[in-house]
Amino acid sequence: MQTAHGRIETPVFMPVGTQGTVKGVLPEALHALGAQIILANTYHLYLRPGHELVHQLGGLHRFMNWSGPILTDSGGFQVFSLGDLCKISEEGVSFQSHLDGSRHHLTPELSIEIQQALDADIIMVFDECIPYPAERAYVATSTDRSARWARRCREALPAGGEKALFGIVQGGMFEDLRLRSAQQLIDIGFEGYALGGLSVGEEAETMYQVMAYALPLLPADAPRYVMGVGTPENLIEGIARGCDMFDCVMPTRNARNGVLFTRQGKLSIKQARYRSDEQPLDPQCDCYVCQNYSRAYLRHLFQSGEILASVLNTQHNLHYYQQLMGEVRAAITQGRFDDFRRDFYRLRQAS
């Protein structure tokens, strides 16, 4: 993909910078780790510091000192996660701020206005992230309303400019509703398409089933993005089913909780067995952390509550995710993705 702030090779994993920062990592380190694009959060930046201020200060790239592409979500997921604090209508959503209790009304048009002010390269339509489980009647009503909101977003941001607008396929876990949603969005026309409403509590196999029947419905010449996903296994299975783009807080959040990703699987650094372990986190990893620090030291930092624990753990986890995507891209280019996928699971089984 080509954007105003650079080229993106896919499949790609996007680190999440909710409030204009990927927690625990300098922008320069993100570049060094191989991050091509990051995600920022419309809802949070709208409430604090405010999209007008970010625009006044030169846009989000300048504000946070990130020169690469940025994708902003629409704010829908965060608003609807407020539960009883939000009220849905055809016009949009009224909600109460989790920061100070102030009342706000977010519409598809305002969501686009906010994301344009932030100067995002990829903008997401405003939609409702349907909870799981949900009754079919509710899912159908919500999905159709999200399609109408998507059309309003397209009208607010016409095609042909520098910014790409992505539609979001809803429909819950119902195959026919996913098909209907995909067709509604294709009829409107977007620069890319996403699957929303996944990784909301369903079993992994259910998620993979939705990917398997929904992703092939989307145009082959447009990026396909599965939102909020996920584990390294989720990424491999999503790619096998045709996904190009992923985002998730998992590598950064897990890092802050002492859970690290390695080629052999997850490692919990807080465990007592690592107290005097001189090995690196992953002997096969070439990241800065694995080249310079032992498991024993990383456990000591975590047990001591040191800020450096979060910094180093986050750097390692993000390196792992970016390296994984780089290896996948190489395997696809060389026509050996199926072999790569088998080896990925074989290493985990061996450990």
Catalytic residues: 73, 247
How many angstroms separate the CA atoms of 294 and 189, rounded? 51
Assigned token pair, 152: 């309003």
How many angstroms separate the CA atoms of 139 and 174, rounded? 9
Identity of the amino acid at 63 = F
H helices present in the chain, as ranges? 27-33, 42-47, 51-56, 60-64, 76-80, 108-118, 136-156, 175-188, 204-214, 232-240, 250-256, 288-292, 295-303, 307-333, 337-350
The residue to which tokens 């890092």 are assigned: 255
| Strand, helix or coil for residue 132 | coil
Sign of CA dihedral 37, 42, 45, 50: positive
Helix (H) or strand (E) holding 150: helix 136-156
How many angstroms separate the CA atoms of 346 and 351, rounded? 9
Sign of CA dihedral 122, 123, 125, 131: positive
- Taking residue 137's Cβ as centre, other Cβ atoms within 10 Å add up to 8
